[in-house]
Amino acid sequence: MAIPLAEGLAQLKCDFEALNAAGTSMKAAAMILLRFLPCHLVSLGSFVLLAGAAIAPFAQQVISIKGRLADSDSLGSIPICDYNRSYDDWDEGAGPGMNLVPLDTIGAIYEGLLQAPNRNNVSVNPSCSRGNCTFGKHQSLGFCSKCADISCKMIPQGDCDNENDFDSECILRLSNRYELEIDSTMDTTINATTDWELLELDVKGLSVIVNFTALTSPANRTKIRANARATECTLYFCVATYRSKIDASRFTEKTTSTATITNKSLGIDWDPYAIYSASPATCIVNRTEKRPSYHDGDGCTYPIHGTSGMAMANSLVAPLTGSGGQQGS
């Protein structure tokens, strides 16, 4: 019994080596066809392998892949702004919505923050594996904002706790002397202004376009202390750093940093004849990180024309300024 078993195992080992070689070598597959009877399944596999190798060079000539368009609700490209254009058709106006804007000025508004022909840092090369693409970190000039809840800094003054006397004066006042007088004829009262002294936000080193402060409160004296709100915000130019990817034909983008260095002095005033600059704290050009100091032409300094900052500020001041109330239905 031992001798036949030993001979069988030895033959099985040889057969396994031959079958394994047939899967990777045309020569070994041909040997299988000569050694085994055609009734064996392994003979069929070897024949298919040899036939496929024979017709493979011609199969590429008859098989075509047709492309087609697929609608997507996400972005089809990565928008990048690295240059801020100037325009000379401008003048002081009476206010938003009161002037007929010339056509070339409208063009400048749309073009002011778009890509310019001499851009240096707009190439974002993707890295795609298995159909999904990941883009390296890239940067763009744009607008940033930050806000702070300063409700705890409001101090009620007057007769704000009298639930029965709605005609008495009730004023909510901040330490910067900005205040909201409660109107008892309204369900909600609001008072908003721009460019008031900020209490919590630190805007040092920012290219501030406009600051915004708003106070709101219900008229019901029992709800004033719990529901009165105060908010301050600032809008400014910034250079944002993004990380993007395409997964299953869907584009997603995440902001990783908005730290910006600017040469604009502290304040909201914009000189229309000046050219300011904004640079990221860490600059990325062709996936290479750079740190200050920067120089012209290295793709790290983004020019901002004073007319752009002034136009944006003038457009926002009127809608963000005013007081009033709302009555319930």
Residues 68, 74, 80, 81, CA torsion sign: positive
Q: Where are the domains of the chain?
A: 2-62, 77-329
Sheet with 260-262, strands from edge to edge, namely 260-262, 275-280, 302-305
Q: What is the CA radius of gyration of the chain?
A: 35
pLDDT at 200: 92
- Whole-number pLDDT of residue 121: 46
- Of 150, 154, 160, 173, the C-alpha closest to 219 is 160
User: Are 116 and 83 contacting, i.e. CB atoms less than 8 angstroms apart?
Assistant: yes
Say what the pLDDT of residue 115 is: 43
What is the predicted pLDDT for the residue at 2? 61
The whole-angstrom distance between residue 59's C-alpha and the CA centroid of its chain comes to 45
247-282: buried (b, 16+ CB within 10 Å) or exposed (e) per residue?
A: eeeebeeeeebbebbbebeeebebebeeebbbbbeb
Q: Which residues contact 128 (CB under 8 A, 6 or more apart)?
A: 134
User: Cβ atoms within 10 A of the Cβ of 311, count?
Assistant: 21
What gap in Å lies between CA 160 and CA 224, rounded to an integer?
8
Owner of token pair 């195992």: 9
- The pLDDT score that the predictor gives to residue 233 is 93
**DSSP per residue over 76-118, as a string?**
SS----------S-----SSTTSS---HHHHHHHHHTTS--TT
- Tell me how long the chain is: 329
Question: Please, are residues 298 and 290 in contact by the beta-carbon 8 Å criterion?
Answer: yes
Determine the residue type at 6: A
What pLDDT does 131 receive?
58
d(CA 86, CA 97) in angstroms, rounded, equals 22
The CA-atom distances, in angstroms, between 182 and each of 144, 172, 218, 327 are 32, 8, 8, 13
Distance CA 181, CA 65 (A): 71
Going residue by residue through the chain, which has 329 residues, state the pLDDT in tens, using 9 for 90 and above: 666 555 555 555 566 566 666 666 667 767 766 666 565 666 666 666 666 666 666 555 555 656 666 666 666 566 666 655 555 555 555 455 445 556 666 666 555 544 444 444 455 666 666 556 777 788 888 888 999 999 899 888 877 777 666 667 888 889 888 988 887 777 888 889 988 999 999 988 888 989 999 998 887 777 777 788 999 999 998 888 888 877 766 777 888 888 888 887 766 788 888 888 888 888 887 778 888 887 777 778 888 888 888 888 888 888 888 888 777 54
The answer to whether the beta carbons of residues 112 and 105 sit under 8 Å apart is: no
Record the pTM: 0.63
